[in-house]
Amino acid sequence: MDRILSLINQNSLSITGVEKVKNVNPNEIIIEIDGQMLIISGTNLEVQTLDLENSTLVVNGLITCIKYSTKKPSFFKRIFK
């Protein structure tokens, strides 16, 4: 499945190909796409739309960083952040 990331004015991010949502907080959202972690960082982040049947996610807030990682974040790193 193709993945499409569309960032509009650093305030709205639409993503297709989403398999799982691992973590959501106002500063970071971690999702799984094709076995890789996609880490979205910023401020005042919130999930506007999540549709796992259609594999889509829309995030609003000030998005400052989008990066892929093949490593899953450690359990303790997510808890003590």
Query: For the domain that residue 48 is a member of, what is the CATH number?
Result: 2.60.40.2000
Task: Note the pLDDT of residue 28.
Answer: 97
Task: Note the pLDDT of residue 80.
Answer: 61
User: Please, are residues 41 and 33 in contact by the beta-carbon 8 Å criterion?
Assistant: no
Which residue range forms the structural domain that includes residue 25? 5-72
Task: Note the pLDDT of residue 57.
Answer: 97
- Could you tell me which of 66, 51, 60, 40 has the C-alpha nearest to residue 18? 51
User: Please, are residues 13 and 33 in contact by the beta-carbon 8 Å criterion?
Assistant: no
Q: What is the domain count for the chain?
A: 1
24 forms beta bridges with 29
| pLDDT greater than 90 at residue 73 | no
Cα separation values, 60 from 4, 7, 8, 23, 74, Å: 16, 10, 10, 15, 25
Q: What's the pLDDT tens digit per position in 36-53?
A: 899 999 999 999 999 999
Q: Which residue has the higher pLDDT, 7 or 70?
A: 7
